[in-house]
Amino acid sequence: MYDVIVIGSGPGGYVAAIRAAQLGMKTAIIEKYSTLGGTCLNVGCIPSKALLDSSEHYHNAAHTFKTHGINLSNLKVDLKQMIARKDDVVKQNVDGIQFLMKKNKIDVHHGMGSFVDKNTVKITKEDGKSEEIQGKNIIIATGSKPASLPFIKLDKDRIITSTEALKMKEIPKHLIVIGGGVIGMELGSVYGRMGAKVSVVEFMDSLISSMDKTMGKELQKSLKKLGFEFYLRHKVTSVENKGKEVIVKAENGKGETIEIKGDYVLVSIGRKPYTDGLNAEAAGVKLNERGQVEVNDHLQTSVPHIYAIGDVIKGAMLAHKAEEEGVFVAETIAGQKPHINYLLIPGVVYTWPEVASVGYTEEQLKEKGKKYKAGKFPFMASGRARASMDTDGLVKVLADAETDEILGVHMIGPRTADMIAEAVVAMEYRASAEDIARMSHAHPTYTEAFKEACLAATDNRALHV
């Protein structure tokens, strides 16, 4: 009998298992696939960042090296090598998780985990053989899969998801991206930088619509420089594979139909919870109408000793959110009183410029009727950004009009994925914009832009603009 059984080895699952083992619990983890790490390590966060970095190096070699005084000739993309390097990065990370399981004496079971009853999980291996294990506590961490539209046939050849986009055999001539969210913009960037024409069809009126509107507008400006075309407020009505050509039809706001022809279509309209084969009902675990596992504030399901974390429950589908929940559940089982502030889990888009955000958006504050002040600072005015030729974007700070407490920070620019951590620390300790404005930031650095935006929010006192 295990103290804890974790079903799923993505960032939520493997972190939950490690923390449970650290707390002295006998722990097992079940993974359907042959490698650990889930979507994030195998076909998500890690491989996409590897390709984003490679394609950005190529783009800079082609477009900015000459200005830096570096002359190259016969520059070309070796896509096969780029994909091979990505695969190697994935392998290193996956091997790292395997090592951590051994180090923490966690039993790893490969196969499909499904409930027999509320304490018993059956593991069905690829060869059809099965075994059963029992646990006092069980954590569901089965993650998510790419979502699609009912009328789109994902043939995984020309009409693809993010998984296939990470192992392309050729650079598309014209990639049509359905969905202007994080995944579409990141993978669209990978191939756009390498010369593909990219057309984005988005139902909403802005890109990355869950983030502050300013971020979507600024990202659109930057991606236009890469040659992206945008069809916002367009509803896709059909996608057809004609062999070497794919035709997408969409309706604009006036009800007129437009037709876009390309050689590949990337369907990136989000992800959906994955519970196929889990047999949750056998344990009495309830799912909601969206297919998510229902949980309370302690992340307990309808069965108190069964918990669920990550993409399979409500909230943002982010690897680091799942990790926090994994630790939270392990510590809860151990009798501790952990806490997660969901408002302060940052969101990041790894395009270039990067987009990063934490706290309330300006739209949310308006909706709440909250009085606030906003301060902005453009990277165009940053000495460090000018030195590196990364002047697109800005930092925007939203602070309480009366107390000056920072309520939201939204950044688009160089290395904002790393910079956002300072904003998270500030907000965790309920800092005011004045607090950050009075802290010394090394010069020249990108983080000075955060200080300057805080100065701008504090009586419009920015120094360098």
User: What are the catalytic residues?
Assistant: 443
Pairing of strands 306-308, 347-349: unpaired
Q: Which residues of 175-190 are buried (b: 16+ CB within 10 A; e: fewer)?
A: bbbbbbbbbbbbbbbb
Provide the token pair at 231.
């069809």
Pairing of strands 372-378, 394-400: antiparallel
Do residues 236 and 258 lie in contact, with contact meaning Cβ atoms separated by under 8 Å?
no
Question: Which contacts of 223-227 are long-range, i.e. CB under 8 A and separated by 24 or more positions?
Answer: 223/185, 223/188, 223/189, 223/192, 223/198, 223/351, 225/392, 226/189, 226/192, 226/193, 226/198, 227/192, 227/197, 227/198
Output the CA–CA distances (angstroms, integers) from residue 350 to 106, 323, 417, in the order listed: 33, 19, 7
Q: Per-residue DSSP letters for 359-411?
A: E--HHHHHHHT--EEEEEEEGGG-HHHHHHT----EEEEEEETTT-BEEEEEE
* CB-based contacts of 402, cutoff 8 Å, min separation 6: 371
Provide the token pair at 93.
């990370």
Rounded-to-integer distance, Cα 228 and Cα 100, Å: 42
Provide the token pair at 262.
């390309």
- CA dihedral in degrees (184, 185, 186, 187; nearest 10)? 50
